[in-house]
Chains A and B, each alone.
Chain A
């Protein structure tokens, strides 16, 4: 019997920070959108905003353009700071394709 032992080439992944904590309920919460304005986001995110507002009493959903939009800016530290400063409890990011 011949045995070959070799390295797994997929290497290591380091998890250095946790995902954001989830909210217990969306009722009475403040929710924002961060949009890249691509892939029909201009139609889909407003629809989602309406659905959230219809389904959760007391929810406040910020306008789609409350934060800077576009692939070039939504990943920036400046946009992240604006999101944090807005006091939102949760954020939906879209769209990717």
Chain B
């Protein structure tokens, strides 16, 4: 709550009366309300903000000392954890030297403001991104992707203001299209969701985004975010589409969803709340057509679940992101499938019979939704899990092996795209990376 009021430009405290969660459950004893009624009365009459004087200035630099570099580094990590700035894994201290190095990847001035990070409202600048990327072990050539992802995250269409604090454990998924993915060693193939020391960019970029969510956005578990599980939040999900494996005639995700022209480097950000591997391939003597169709049904069956996470993006977002290996995409294309026809199949075959929806309590959630499109959908039987087939996101990514596909269950009011801006010195940054890390 304090994060939320700070995000509105108010001082980061509020007149609140808090009770244990048990009082908010069905059938609870609400008599504590009467015993503590004076706290409500005082909140309306006597309460004063203790933090009204926050001036928007940058906090001072942090200084630690040690007898050796090793001791100073350990001390810095202890301070960062004690201040709740870390994620439990070792961090690079964001020294001036390291942050300035990262800022070599900036395409705009370090003080440029990108917005305020919800819900706490931390002022977010290019430098804020560089600080987080420095802590996460990143490199200058990663910064353009992070800045674009942060821009999309802060777009109200993304729904981040609610999802940052919500209990559903939503995590951002950043899909990169265009040449930058390969240039900065972002993974599109085997192990593309990480970790991968050969293509380490996604881990650092995603971790930096998570640190921003926490340090500027206030998403501390149990304090600023009520995410029950917080799954995938160390590094979020950052990967590239395997454009080299796209079948002829299949458009990139960026072109389909955001109308970005081929060859433009861009990101696309959505939120997910689950990740499931789907064994797509057949096991015996299936014909190519049977193998494809059985796999399609198996994927649709995974999508046909009445847990209603997709309501958030029912109208404009996505029910989820399907990752399909390039070798499978090629086979499917050979049988006449396109991304569009696959979406139509999933939309048709993931519908939930009204009886199944009712027994799972689905109608109540649909009835209270703010979207008229969602509320009106309650008359449909079977009930489509999203308003239109186009909302399904299909991305060609993953290792060159036909057995599996991957479903990132959507919890995403929008799917937000951004073109990536790189600095004029970008080629030099790539040369430096070659020198530091070896050939790509």
Known interface pairs A15-B52, A19-B14. Does A55 touch B76 (Cβ–Cβ under 8 Å)?
no
A26 contacts partner chain B, Cβ-Cβ < 8 Å: yes
**Residues on B with beta carbons closer than 8 Å to the beta carbon of A3:** 63-65, 72
Q: How many whole Å from A38's CB to the nearest CB in chain B? A: 8
**Residues on A with beta carbons closer than 8 Å to the beta carbon of B5:** 19
Known interface pairs A11-B216, A48-B40. Does A6 touch B9 (Cβ–Cβ under 8 Å)?
no
A96 contacts partner chain B, Cβ-Cβ < 8 Å: yes
**Residues on B with beta carbons closer than 8 Å to the beta carbon of A9:** 80, 85, 94, 128, 131-132, 135, 211, 215-216
Q: Which residue on chain A has the smallest CB distance to residue B130?
A: A7
Q: Would you call B10 and A15 a contact (CB within 8 A)?
A: yes
Known interface pairs A95-B24, A97-B21. Does A19 touch B10 (Cβ–Cβ under 8 Å)?
yes
- Among B24, B52, B56, B71, point to the contact of A19 (Cβ < 8 A): B52
Q: Would you call A14 and B54 a contact (CB within 8 A)?
A: yes
Q: Would you call A6 and B94 a contact (CB within 8 A)?
A: yes
Q: Would you call B72 and A10 a contact (CB within 8 A)?
A: no
Known interface pairs A7-B99, A19-B10. Does A14 touch B63 (Cβ–Cβ under 8 Å)?
no
A44 contacts partner chain B, Cβ-Cβ < 8 Å: yes
Q: Would you call B61 and A5 a contact (CB within 8 A)?
A: yes
Q: Would you call A17 and B10 a contact (CB within 8 A)?
A: yes
Contact with A along B94-109 (1 / 0, CB 8 A): 1110010000000000
Interface residues of A in 40-97 (CB under 8 A from B): 40, 43-44, 47-48, 51-52, 55, 70-73, 90, 92, 95-97
Interface segment among B117-125, B169-177, B267-275: the answer is B117-125
Q: Would you call A8 and B59 a contact (CB within 8 A)?
A: yes
- Among B14, B51, B95, point to the contact of A4 (Cβ < 8 A): B95
Q: Would you call A13 and B123 a contact (CB within 8 A)?
A: yes
**Residues on B with beta carbons closer than 8 Å to the beta carbon of A31:** 44
**Residues on A with beta carbons closer than 8 Å to the beta carbon of B283:** none
Q: Would you call A25 and B95 a contact (CB within 8 A)?
A: no
Q: Would you call B58 and A12 a contact (CB within 8 A)?
A: yes
B: contact size bracket? 35 or more
A7 CA / B63 CA spacing, docked (Å): 9
Q: Would you call A97 and B44 a contact (CB within 8 A)?
A: no
Q: Would you call B122 and A11 a contact (CB within 8 A)?
A: yes
A: contact size bracket? 35 or more
Interface residues of B in 26-78 (CB under 8 A from A): 26, 28, 30, 33-34, 37, 40-41, 44-49, 51-69, 71-73, 75-76
**Residues on B with beta carbons closer than 8 Å to the beta carbon of A10:** 59, 83, 85, 122, 215-216
**Residues on B with beta carbons closer than 8 Å to the beta carbon of A92:** 40, 44
A95 CA / B51 CA spacing, docked (Å): 24
Of A1, A2, A25, A37, most buried by chain B (CB within 10 Å of CB) is A2
Known interface pairs A12-B57, A40-B25. Does A25 touch B85 (Cβ–Cβ under 8 Å)?
no
**Residues on B with beta carbons closer than 8 Å to the beta carbon of A26:** 41, 44-45
Q: Would you call B368 and A70 a contact (CB within 8 A)?
A: yes
- Among A12, A15, A19, point to the contact of B59 (Cβ < 8 A): A12
Contact with A along B369-407 (1 / 0, CB 8 A): 110000000000000000000000000000000000000
Q: Which residue on chain A has the smallest CB distance to residue B54?
A: A15
Q: How many whole Å from A74's CB to the nearest CB in chain B? A: 11
Q: Would you call B52 and A4 a contact (CB within 8 A)?
A: no
Q: How many whole Å from A34's CB to the nearest CB in chain B? A: 13
**Residues on B with beta carbons closer than 8 Å to the beta carbon of A43:** 30
A65 CA / B341 CA spacing, docked (Å): 47
List 17 interface pairs A-B (beta carbons < 8 Å), by A numbering: A1-B65, A4-B73, A4-B75, A5-B61, A9-B131, A9-B211, A10-B215, A11-B123, A14-B121, A15-B51, A19-B10, A19-B49, A19-B52, A22-B48, A24-B45, A71-B370, A97-B24
| B binding-site residues for A, Cβ under 8 Å | 1, 5-6, 8-12, 14-15, 21, 23-26, 28, 30, 33-34, 37, 40-41, 44-49, 51-69, 71-73, 75-76, 80, 83, 85, 93-96, 99, 116-117, 120-125, 128, 131-132, 135, 211, 215-216, 226, 368-370
A15-B53, A40-B28 known; 9 new pairs, CB 8 Å cut-off, are A3-B65, A4-B65, A4-B75, A6-B95, A12-B123, A13-B121, A14-B116, A22-B46, A40-B25
